[in-house]
Amino acid sequence: MTQLSAWLARLPGNADITQPLIAVGIALLLYAMAYGLARLLAPRIRERLPALSELASTHVRPMLRHAISAPLFATALALWPADSIAHLILGAALALAVALFALHLLQALSFPRWAITPLALLLFVMVISGSSGGIAPVGSMLDDVALTLGKRRISLLDILSVAATLVALLAGIRLANRLIRRSIQKAPDLDPTQKLLGQKLAGIAVIIAAFFIGIDILGIDLTAFTVFSGALGLAVGFGLQKTVGNLIAGIILLMDRSIKPGDVIAVGDSFGWVSKIGVRAVSIITRDGKKHLIPNENLMTQEVENWSYSDRNIRVRIPVGISNDSDIALAQQLMLEAAKESPRALKHPEPKVWLTALGQYRLEHEIRVWINDPENGVGGVTSDVLMRVLDKFKAQGIIVPYPRQIIELRQPQNRHDPAMNEPDISDHSPS
């Protein structure tokens, strides 16, 4: 270590710049060595351990890579002089390798995701603190690296503190939302709409609480922003007008239960099944498998057809025509049998057949069938009933007529003899 310190002292240039760059280069070189060894050894480990699950097998190579790189980083850290930024860089590399190894190990063991990230972050902080002699020396070194902007001094410690606070708050928000969502989902007395509304309101409350907690942790004095609060609030208000409007519209939709997940709705040219009511828009899945995102405000201001608002039963109208000389009673009986045999047709209310119009060349009928699965569309049940009707009509000799046109051809008659209109070209001699 003495020889390494002497060699570093003889390096030309500013030591505060050259030594961190050398430490970064050494860390990258050691990581490349670990990457190559892991790529070479991972297939052999999979062959020796065929009983590994597919999930664990996918994590073998990254686990091996970080397991090899961690001792290499620890060796370089032990040889490097302490109390320097370069020493801190190697300590961070060691802590990152250990944290990533633990992350992949917990994922391979199928730990819940909400617990993996906090554990890995905690392990990272513990390792980097231990490699640097505790939190105080690390903070002192980070605070020495600073930039002065006017009267404000911004150190690397300040930047990392803000970043760590934001990461911790985001992780806390996600963890709190998941715990709240699981608790609400287990509530037996709430219907799906009430559960979704509770999740949305709880999520908003968690974000507001995290905002004030972050301000308190960072020690931000809100009185310093009083001069700009009016103009800033006005600008933010105009910028977020649509977003806030969609958020409030979504909450209102959930409160009055006019639209809820699972409903089949039609808005303008969009028709489909409501899969999600989000903060900004409602997601609708059409029968073609396409997802339409409709802003919540549109559902409040436009006319919406909700096919399953109070009752999931809807009636499908299927027009059928027969020729004028057909047996009407037999044809209606066959149409009714075809409707009742359709698997999606409900028994109660039962299908009906009505004579709706007397056409020029056909008798117009309408088969009315009730279904209770509108999310599957109406085209399938219409096609099924019509196919059964055609088969029964064909077996009984009932004809489905088509439009007919009668074209009458007439031979034109000439009123004058053509020979009478021809000029006389004979030679006349004078008398």
**226-310: CATH class:** mainly beta
Share of the chain above pLDDT 90, in %: 13
Side-chain-side CA neighbours of residue 349 (13 Å): 13
Count of C-beta atoms within a 10 Å radius of residue 204: 13
Q: Report the pLDDT value the prediction gives residue 168, as an integer from 0 to 100.
A: 72
Query: Over 60: is that where the pLDDT of 68 sits?
Result: yes
Give pLDDT, residue 317. Answer: 92
| Mean predicted lDDT score pLDDT of the chain | 78
254 has pLDDT over 60: yes
Q: Start-end ranges of CATH 3.30.70.100 in the chain? A: 314-396
Please give the model's pTM, rounded to 2 decimal places.
0.45
Which residues, in sequence order, are CB contacts of 108 under 8 Å at separation 6+? 55, 56, 59, 63
Q: What CA–CA distance (Å, rounded) separates 241 from 233?
A: 12
Q: How far from 211 is each of 169, 217, 386, CA to CA, in Å?
A: 8, 10, 61
Determine whether 397 is exposed, middle or buried from the number of CB atoms within 10 Å of its CB (0-12, 13-18, 19+): exposed
For residue range 96-154, what is the model confidence (pLDDT) as tens digits? 888 888 888 877 777 677 667 777 877 787 787 777 665 566 566 666 767 777 677 77
8-26 per-position pLDDT tens digit = 555 545 555 677 777 888 8
Return the structure tokens found at 223.
Answer: 């009185």
Kindly indicate the confidence band of residue 334, based on its pLDDT and cuts at 50, 70 and 90: very high
Q: Is the pLDDT of residue 76 over 80?
A: yes
Q: Which CATH number, 3.30.70.100, 3.40.630.40, 3.40.50.11540, 3.30.200.20, labels domain 314-396? A: 3.30.70.100
Q: How far apart are CA 79 and CA 1, in angstroms?
A: 5
More confident residue, 49 or 340: 340
Tokens matching residue 178: 């998941």
CATH 2.30.30.60-classified regions of the chain: 226-310
Rg (CA), the chain: 40
pLDDT of residue 431: 43
Examine the pLDDT at 327 and tell me if it is beyond 80: yes
- pLDDT for residue 367: 94
Side chain identity, residue 188: P
